[in-house]
Homo-oligomer: A and B are copies of this chain.
Amino acid sequence: MALLVQKFGGTSVGDPDRIRAVADHIVRTRDAGDDVVVVVSAMGRTTDDLLRLAHDVSTAPAARELDMLLTAGERISISLLCMAILDRGLPAVSFTGSQAGIVTDTSHGKAKIVDVRADRLRDALAAGSVAVVAGFQGVSTSRDITTLGRGGSDTTAVALAAVLGAGACEIYTDVSGVFTADPRLVPEARRLAHLSFDEMLEMSATGGRVLALRSVEFARNYGVPLHVRSSFTWEPGTWVQKEGVMEQAIISGVTHDESEAKVTIEQVPDRPGIAATVFRALADDGVNVDMIVQNVSSAGHTDISFTVPHDELARTLHVMETVVKETDAAGFSHDPHIGRVSLVGAGMKTNPGVAAKMFEILAGENVNIEMISTSSIRISCVVNEDDVPRAVAALHKAFELDREQA
């Protein structure tokens, strides 16, 4: 008898019918002999509805109160899910983040877990109950209610799986796993049966929307196997785990991301400390810089390009005006109409020529590459946003991602 942590996202518990279906599945899991800890998000659009109310009553809702407000959402879903499980004759007990022992720092809205004191969950399991825990939330070291930010429920689930020594953490969502590309762009996209943590990290970081980056990092650090699967079909999905347990495909998937804009600071004097000056100024202003590319120097000057989220572009341009003066750069430019296309695959490490082939394919599609950045298992190209769908489809086909790979 193993312990499974099962996490259900907002669409999985979006209405009473869905909640009953989830309760049925938990009963099936228990009948198969496993103990279950369940982590639940707020129902459907609840969080958005609550946010709208907050902005109705306040021009700038206070962070502590916003956390108090939003945590009402999971409180509703955990209690309803427990009622449905109890209705099926299986003991179940709900726990808020605080009751489940999720202790965080005091950063409201994006708190980090500093401790998990899961005694009450262990007691509930020992008593034969299903423990149903509110995702996304915790209690701070100063006893205030906190939320964990984007992907918070996944993080709760992975943290509990790590602390309780679960055999796996199942992430139930509205898609049936991780795909070789976005099926809306590539109808032939195939569900992957296995992925390494590193590949999943690269895919999450470059536009794969199934798992939040942070929860994958957490799972990798604690060696918690993840199983991403559908709460609508209940079929087996994608396993994300340590390398070595599976054959590694050269390429696992093509991801894309159109949420960023490109900024270039032109003809900066090429001397030590310049990059530090630029990115320290942005960091101090809270801008999340993603890709950074610096070209080789010519005549003692260089161009530095980077990408930032669209909604941080205005702030970035404001910072750039000062930075250009401080660094004696010639000026700066920006382009909001870009997209990033990435190839991710652990097998890339031992297969030279993948980058070259990627560039040839894009050239064959007449797609101009504006920036390139690579890691050992990923190659990303920034292109014009209009070229993204064509680039993704062409790469998916050329690397034969529609076929099962050895």
Contact = CB atoms under 8 A, between A and B. Distances in A.
A54 B50 CA distance: 20
State how many copies of this chain the complex holds: 2
Contact of A53 (B73, B76, B96): B76
Given A56-B16, A57-B20, A75-B75, A94 B82 contact: no
A326 interface: no
What does DSSP make chain A's interface, helix, strand, loop or mixed? Answer: helix
Nearest to A99: B143
Contacts of A71: 75
Contacts of A54: 79-80, 83
Given A64-B93, A93-B64, A76 B86 contact: no
B83 A58 contact: yes
Contacts of A82: 62, 65, 68
Among A50, A71, A80, the one with the most B-chain Cβ atoms within 10 Å of its Cβ is A80
Given A65-B94, A143-B99, A19 B57 contact: yes
A221 interface: no
B72 A75 contact: yes
Contact of A65 (B19, B65, B79, B145): B79
A83 B53 CA distance: 10
A69 interface: yes
Contacts of A78: 68
A245 interface: no
A59 interface: yes
Contact of A83 (B61, B80, B94): B61
Among A79, A80, A81, the one with the most B-chain Cβ atoms within 10 Å of its Cβ is A79
16 contacts: A16-B56, A19-B57, A20-B57, A50-B76, A53-B76, A54-B79, A58-B80, A58-B83, A58-B86, A64-B94, A65-B86, A66-B79, A68-B82, A69-B76, A72-B72, A72-B79
